[in-house]
Amino acid sequence: MKISVLQRLTAKIMKKLTRKICIVAIIQFLFFSLNTKAQVSTEVKSTAELLIAISTAKPGDEILLEGDFNGETIRFSAKGTIEKPIVIKSKNSGKANFTVPVKMDGEYLSVEGISFPGQGNLEISGKNCRISRCTWSDAKSGKWIRVLAGSSAIEIDHNLFENKTNNSELDRNCQLIQVVVRNENEQHHIHHNLFREISKGKTGNGFETLQLITENNPFDPPGGHSNSIIEDNLFIRCNGESEIISVKSNGNIIRRNTFRACAGSLVLRHGDDNVVNGNFFFGDGEKNSGGVRIQGTDQIVANNYFDGLGQLSLGMMDGTPDNLYIRVERAQILFNSFINCPKNFVIGMNHSSHPNGTVPKDCRIVGNLFYYDKPDMPDNFIEYVQNDQPENWVWKDNFAYGAPVLSEIKGIQTINPQLKFQENGLAVPTSETPEIRQLPDVDKEIQFDLFGQKWKINRSVGAIQFPLHTSTFGILTEEKVGTLAF
């Protein structure tokens, strides 16, 4: 049978293609083999073995821990890559314990599933490191995690922090987590952690559950933003001191966290340009529960839900001559809901050393809902401390119902918002709730209600707009955060 020129040409091409495919396959096989050899899984059961394993670890390696790791202080350093981090993890969840201080220095280094009992704590210096699904329960160290200045992109997620009972024994500087920044675009990320049962501090100061602080703690941090995010964390009975989260740096976002029965507040203490957005604050019967307190310039508090808080829901400080408290300027208080809170909005709070300072100025208060339907009605939804009125404020399209409002404020309408209380106690708008036209010049990052729905042009006041939007956001429960959450 004759073979045509076309058939011979086709056969030749196929032969060349087959040869090329084989060569490519061999190269891929060799690459995969070499790659696989570089990714070592090492099991260790002692501190000495751990330090050897880390000192020889290459990108992509995994070090599996089992047992108790002790000594004086465990120090280690390692560098992975973005594609191949070095992972140090418990072989079996809950079966590996660091019982002494750990000092970790590295890049693309991940610590997972470890418990920190006894004097176990963690100090981190590095870049692109992750602490995930670890547990601190009644550890006896003062600080449980400390991120040092100069670090960047440290991720702390899905951990359990509970029963910090030694707060009642130590003097101060016992922040559960302390993150030190220089406002140089650190981009730290703290999310999906469970904080619960944090005891009151012995001396009343220095016992924050979470502190994000500029290095050397200047009263007025210099320019630059940290750009760190604290989101989707659950705080239950975090009572260390009056500041649950203390922000002392610039340009951070605190969003979608839930606070329950915590004797304290989220405080923008030093720094500017921070955003508090989409958080839930529930008093749950705690007489010292609070919401947000702010100092500094260009702070935004938007889309938050304050419910049954025992102390103030929202407070602004007066400025002081020594800059211990920076004057509040250009703050934006937008579309928040205040539901059955005895103290709602207190303006011009003073430090004991400065009984009367510079009042807040140039602030914008828009679209907030003040609502009260309990017998013990507050004297007023708004309080000017010492009757010092703020300077050059804009009040617009706020609604109030169930308690008096100051007559001199023209931007609050006294009107029944026709809310409906759900089975979980959440007060939501209905089809009868009046709507307003939201302002067009609001930062795009906050133009979402409490459940992640984009603001409509015409929308109901408060943190939730009608109709209620079903989403993955909402009130956090213990099943959604911590070591076992997906």
The set of long-range contacts for 403-406, using a CB threshold of 8 Å and a minimum separation of 24, is: 403/370, 403/372, 403/377, 403/378, 403/379, 404/379, 404/380, 405/370, 405/380, 405/381, 406/380, 406/382
Residue 254 pairs in a beta bridge with 230, 276
Question: Rounded to whole angstroms, how far apart are CA atoms 128 and 131?
Answer: 10
pTM comes to 0.91
162 and 137 Cβ atoms separated by less than 8 Å: yes
pLDDT digits (tens, 9 = 90+) for 264-287: 999 999 999 999 999 999 999 999
3-state helix, strand, coil in the chain (%, to 5): 10, 35, 50
| Residue 17 clears pLDDT 50, i.e. is over it | no
Question: Rounded to whole angstroms, how far apart are CA atoms 288 and 429?
Answer: 28
Mean pLDDT of 327-350: 96
Question: Rounded to whole angstroms, how far apart are CA atoms 158 and 486?
Answer: 9
Mean pLDDT of 309-313: 95
Q: Where are the alpha helices (DSSP H) in 144-202?
A: none
Grade residue 16 by pLDDT with cuts at 50, 70 and 90: very low
Grade residue 356 by pLDDT with cuts at 50, 70 and 90: confident
pLDDT digits (tens, 9 = 90+) for 93-133: 879 999 999 999 999 999 999 999 999 999 999 999 999 99
288 and 262 Cβ atoms separated by less than 8 Å: no
| Residue 5 clears pLDDT 90, i.e. is over it | no
- pLDDT at position 37, please? 45
**Average pLDDT, whole number, for the chain?**
91
Residue 340 neighbours by CB under 8 Å, 6+ apart: 307, 308, 371, 372, 373, 374
70 and 43 Cβ atoms separated by less than 8 Å: no
**Which one, of 249, 261, 146, 255, lies nearest residue 198 by Cα?**
261
- pLDDT at position 472, please? 64
Mean pLDDT of 417-443: 91
Question: Rounded to whole angstroms, how far apart are CA atoms 275 and 253?
Answer: 5
pLDDT digits (tens, 9 = 90+) for 32-90: 344 434 488 999 999 999 999 999 999 999 999 999 999 999 999 999 999 999 999 99
DSSP-derived pairing of the beta strands 229-231 and 189-191 = parallel
| Residue 396 clears pLDDT 80, i.e. is over it | yes
pLDDT digits (tens, 9 = 90+) for 464-475: 999 988 766 789
